Amino acid sequence: MKKRSVLYASAYEYFAGLDARREPIWESDPARMRPIFTDRAPSQPDCHGVCPSLRTTFVEVVYDRAIRRYIAVAQGQFVGQTSFYDAPQPWGPWTVLAYNNVDPASGSGGWANLGTQGGYSLGVHVVNAWTSSDGLTLWMIYSSDGKAPRGALFPPEGTALDSFNLVSARLIPRTPNDAAP
């Protein structure tokens, strides 16, 4: 696509699934568009309004050039419902790096043990410019409308999360001899 075409819908192509050889199919008709990710987490009927089904969607996908993988952040309603995935291509196949949800009964747990008290998520984003040169240390920013509860792994208890929150994560590559979790 030429730079001048970015404003014209007719210039776009959409991912429409994979062919028999597992190669991507591209279509100009947006009605034929297919998702690159589907969260198949079971629904949680016993949640009583505390934590809706995690059924997350990708907030973003970034490319980690050093490890030649796409890293996706998936987000539920609460910041504690943040999960991370990776794939060799933007259309997958996606593997789970970390899958986080809050406990339906107590509203605790989840990413960084933020639970529902961590508040509604305003997004967790990988800052690609701050990724280490080996691609294994990622920096993420996030915000919400809650406070860090007692027992939060980060930030300190009581910290208002409606702020610039920065956290790093270190990816540990699996060797061929490692068993899948």
Whether pTM exceeds 0.75: yes
Burial of 126 (0-12, 13-18, 19+ CB in 10 A): buried
Residue 73: DSSP 8-state? E
Does residue 141 or residue 176 have the better pLDDT? 141
Which amino acid makes up residue 172?
I
Counted residue by residue, the chain has a size of 181
CA diameter of the chain? 53
Instruction: Encode pLDDT of 11-49 as tens digits.
Output: 999 999 999 999 999 999 999 999 998 876 655 554 444
- Residues 181 and 170: their CA atoms lie apart, in Å, by 18
Whole-number pLDDT of residue 178: 66
Whole-number pLDDT of residue 34: 94
Nearest to 70 by CA among 37, 28, 23: 37
Instruction: Encode pLDDT of 102-144 as tens digits.
Output: 888 889 999 999 999 999 998 899 999 999 999 999 999 999 9
